[in-house]
């Protein structure tokens, strides 16, 4: 029972670190986006959702009596992954950004599937409902990015061809 609980709490803490990293990554993307207003608006909406996700995970950990004092420190562990995916300041930054964003959303999607399975195993139905709500937000963001890949790439190519600011 205690191994089960230890695994469960450690995965929730990992998810919290992932969301804190998402806030950093999405904020730096959104504030640089000038030529892609719809993408920027969608990312800004997801930043607000992500802040809510992070707070919801903190409430879950509080309810499970976990010590949340060191959570923000742990958030740095995802930064190396995201620097590898980011491509910020590349000449095709917006394209690298959509690749990184879609990849990140899918890491989040699978992370919440893991948490839902663990919540089922431990019988924590209250937290399971939280994870299911977050999972829907991640799926919606991934679906939006996928539905807009063509537009993003074609806008980038057309602006680059016309010597307009295209990278972000
Ligand atoms: Mg998220
Ligand atoms: Fe997300």
Identify residues whose C-beta is under 5 A from ligand 2, the ion: 108, 138
The predicted structure's pLDDT at residue 29: 94
**pTM (2 decimals)?**
0.91
What is the structure's pLDDT at 118? 98
Evaluate whether 36 touches 152 at the Cβ level (below 8 Å): yes
Question: What is the CA 5 to chain-centroid distance, rounded?
Answer: 25
**According to the model, what pLDDT value does residue 75 have?**
63
Q: Which single residue is written with the structure tokens 């999972």?
A: 135
In this structure, is the dihedral angle defined by the CA atoms of residues 122, 125, 126 and 132, taken in order, positive or negative? positive
Give residue 1's pLDDT. 55
Mean pLDDT per 10-residue section of the chain, whose length is 168 residues: 90 96 94 96 98 97 85 63 63 95 97 98 98 98 98 97 95
Rounded distance from Cα 162 to ligand 1 centre (Å): 36
Q: How far is the CA of 42 from the centre of ligand 1 (A)?
A: 14
Answer CATH for 2-161 from 3.40.50.720, 3.40.50.150, 1.20.1260.10, 2.60.40.10: 1.20.1260.10
Residue 3 CA, ligand 2 centroid: distance in Å = 28
Ligand 1 ion: residues within 5 Å (CB): 19, 22, 50, 53, 108
pLDDT of residue 25: 92
Q: Is 15 within 8 Å of 59 (Cβ atoms)?
A: no
pLDDT at residue number 67: 82
Contact 98, 149 (CB under 8 A): yes
Residue 21 CA neighbour count, 13 Å, CB half: 25
Residue spans per domain, the chain: 2-161
């Amino acid at each position: 029972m205690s191994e089960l609980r230890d695994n469960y709490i450690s995965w929730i803490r990992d998810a919290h670190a992932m969301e804190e990293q998402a806030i950093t990554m999405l904020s730096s993307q959104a504030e640089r986006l000038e030529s892609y207003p719809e993408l920027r608006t969608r990312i800004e909406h997801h930043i607000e959702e992500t802040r809510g996700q992070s707070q919801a995970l903190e409430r879950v950990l509080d309810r499970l009596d976990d010590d949340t004092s060191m959570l923000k420190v742990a958030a740095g562990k995802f930064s190396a992954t995201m620097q590898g995916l980011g491509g910020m300041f590349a000449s095709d930054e917006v394209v690298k950004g959509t690749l990184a964003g879609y990849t990140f959303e899918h890491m989040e999607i699978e992370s919440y599937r893991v948490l839902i399975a663990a919540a089922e195993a431990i019988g924590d139905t209250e937290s399971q409902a939280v994870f299911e709500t977050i999972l829907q937000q991640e799926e919606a963001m991934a679906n939006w990015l996928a539905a807009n890949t063509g537009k993003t790439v074609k806008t980038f190519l057309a602006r680059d061809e016309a010597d307009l600011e295209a990278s972000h």
